[in-house]
């Protein structure tokens, strides 16, 4: 008798029937009719020439031959299901992980990623934000967007936004404490400071004032905050004057919730730099090219 290969479409039916001890329950679990399951099992028994189940009113119990086959089939079905899950995972568009600081993530990156995903809904983007950027280049990310000077980064870094800084406050705060026609007048106003550990990579109030020939000791009304988002929230709450980085505070300036009240300082050798991973995926490249065009 020739050994014809078995039709493997019966594997899941047989596994369910052997595991549940009932053709009826197997049919119910698989969303099939009981006669359809019985027919498939009968075809396998005919091909093997042995009975696989012993039928009774209480269900269907595996025969000795059925037990031997069930052990192999159950393991095969489990392996096939796992392989199918692994295959689906590899077929998904890989997630893009971008590392940056809190302020840039909130004010510049997240709104643009939202717009990008409207055009590419299949894309999965993870933004990893931190104020501690010392180990940023060693993180397992597809790209980093970091603030610093040209010499702080590798040659392949691309400048996204040069540093341009202007004092900002709300119109209501300006009415109460202004006008600020001269940089020296900022020495009398409560200032909002972005606190940092170590040497600051970005412009600070002392360096902004010094650039205009103004010296000032910390005042009682000043407020220090550890993230730029908190600084802008405090400015919107009329707690003081903040340094506004162009590119980050532009939406507030456009809406009029904040106003520029002093001279701008520009440092074109500093700003936010894009550092892509050498092994960037196609999705990462598409996103980064889109973000570059947005600048």
222 lies in which domain range?
Answer: 96-294
Q: Tokens 């890989």 appear where?
A: 94
* Structure tokens given for 158: 């691309």
Q: Tokens 């992980």 appear where?
A: 97
Instruction: Output the pLDDT for position 204.
Output: 92
User: Among 72, 91, 110, where does a domain finish?
Assistant: 91
pLDDT range class, residue 5, cuts 50, 70, 90: very low
User: Among 41, 70, 91, where does a domain finish?
Assistant: 91
* Structure tokens given for 232: 């802008």
Instruction: Output the pLDDT for position 261.
Output: 95
Task: Dihedral sign for Cα 105, 108, 111, 116, please.
Answer: negative
Q: Is residue 39 part of a domain?
A: yes
Clarify whether residues 159 and 290 are in a common domain.
Answer: yes
Clarify whether residues 82 and 100 are in a common domain.
Answer: no
Farthest CA pair distance, the chain: 103
Mind listing the pLDDT tens digit for each residue in 143-175?
899 999 999 888 889 999 999 999 999 999 999
Q: Is residue 1 part of a domain?
A: no
| Residues found in the chain | 295
Clarify whether residues 107 and 35 are in a common domain.
Answer: no
Instruction: Output the pLDDT for position 161.
Output: 93
Q: Is residue 217 part of a domain?
A: yes
Nearest alpha-carbon partner for 149 in 267, 291, 278: 267
Average predicted confidence (pLDDT) for the chain: 86
pLDDT, average across residues 227-243: 95
Q: Tokens 């299901």 appear where?
A: 81
SS (H, E, C) 171-223: HHHHHHHCCCCCHHHHHHCCEEEECCCCCCCCCCHHHHHHHCCCCCCCCCCCE
Instruction: Output the pLDDT for position 78.
Output: 85
Q: Is residue 195 part of a domain?
A: yes
Clarify whether residues 139 and 259 are in a common domain.
Answer: yes
Q: Per-residue pLDDT for 217 more than 90?
A: no
* Structure tokens given for 257: 């919730």
Domain count, the chain: 2
Clarify whether residues 83 and 177 are in a common domain.
Answer: no
Find the range with the poorest average confidence among 103-112, 146-155, 198-207, 246-255.
198-207
Clarify whether residues 147 and 262 are in a common domain.
Answer: yes
Q: Is residue 137 part of a domain?
A: yes
User: Among 42, 58, 91, where does a domain finish?
Assistant: 91
- What's the CATH code of the domain at 172? 3.40.190.290
Rounded to whole angstroms, how far apart are CA atoms 112 and 255?
A: 18
Pairing relation of β-strands 143-149 and 223-225?
Answer: unpaired
Buried b (16+ CB within 10 A) or exposed e, 75-101: eebeeeeeeeeeeeeeeeeeebbbbbb
Instruction: Output the pLDDT for position 67.
Output: 92
pLDDT range class, residue 284, cuts 50, 70, 90: confident
pLDDT range class, residue 133, cuts 50, 70, 90: low
pLDDT: which is higher, 272 or 218: 272
Clarify whether residues 245 and 271 are in a common domain.
Answer: yes
pLDDT: which is higher, 242 or 117: 242
Q: Say if CB 29 and CB 37 are below 8 A apart.
A: no
Clarify whether residues 124 and 152 are in a common domain.
Answer: yes
Q: Is residue 3 part of a domain?
A: no
Q: Per-residue pLDDT for 135 more than 70?
A: no
Q: Is residue 72 part of a domain?
A: yes
Percent of the chain with pLDDT over 90: 45
pLDDT, average across residues 213-223: 85
Clarify whether residues 110 and 85 are in a common domain.
Answer: no
pLDDT, average across residues 177-205: 88
φ/ψ of 281, rounded to 5, equals -75, 170
Rounded to whole angstroms, how far apart are CA atoms 167 and 86?
A: 53
Instruction: Output the pLDDT for position 134.
Output: 57
Q: Is residue 55 part of a domain?
A: yes
Nearest alpha-carbon partner for 237 in 177, 172, 185: 172
Clarify whether residues 72 and 118 are in a common domain.
Answer: no
Compute, in degrees rounded to 10, the torsion defined by CA atoms 197, 192, 260, 107.
Answer: 50
Clarify whether residues 45 and 178 are in a common domain.
Answer: no
Mind listing the pLDDT tens digit for each residue in 57-104?
778 889 999 999 999 998 988 888 887 776 666 656 678 889 999 999
pLDDT: which is higher, 26 or 261: 261
- What's the CATH code of the domain at 12? 1.10.10.10
Clarify whether residues 163 and 42 are in a common domain.
Answer: no
Instruction: Output the pLDDT for position 3.
Output: 47
């Amino acid at each position: 008798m020739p050994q014809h290969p078995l039709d493997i479409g019966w594997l899941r039916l047989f596994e369910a029937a052997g595991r549940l001890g009932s053709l009826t329950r197997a049919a119910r679990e698989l969303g099939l009719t009981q006669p359809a399951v019985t027919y498939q099992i009968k075809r396998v028994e005919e091909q093997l020439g042995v009975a696989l189940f012993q039928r009774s009113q209480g269900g269907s119990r595996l025969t000795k031959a059925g037990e031997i086959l069930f052990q192999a089939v159950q393991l095969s079905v489990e392996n096939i299901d796992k392989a199918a899950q692994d295959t689906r995972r590899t077929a998904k568009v890989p997630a893009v992980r971008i590392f940056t600081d809190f302020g840039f993530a909130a004010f510049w990156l997240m709104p643009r990623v939202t717009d990008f995903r409207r055009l590419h809904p299949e894309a999965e983007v993870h933004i990893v934000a931190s104020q501690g950027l010392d180990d940023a280049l060693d993180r397992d990310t597809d790209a980093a967007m970091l603030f610093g000077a040209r010499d702080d980064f590798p040659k392949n870094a691309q400048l996204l936004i040069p540093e341009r800084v202007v004092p900002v406050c709300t119109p209501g705060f300006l009415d109460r404490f202004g006008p600020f026609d001269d940089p020296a007048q900022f020495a009398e106003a409560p200032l909002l400071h972005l606190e940092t550990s170590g040497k600051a990579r970005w412009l600070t109030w002392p360096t902004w004032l010094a650039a205009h020939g103004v010296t000032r000791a910390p005042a009682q009304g000043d407020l220090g905050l550890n993230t730029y988002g908190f600084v802008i929230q405090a400015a919107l709450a009329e707690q003081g004057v903040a340094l506004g980085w162009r590119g980050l505070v532009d939406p507030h300036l456009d809406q009029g919730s904040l106003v520029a009240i002093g001279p701008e300082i520009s440092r074109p050798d500093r700003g936010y730099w894009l550092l892509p991973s050498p092994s960037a995926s196609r999705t990462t490249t598409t996103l980064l090219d889109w973000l570059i065009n947005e600048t």
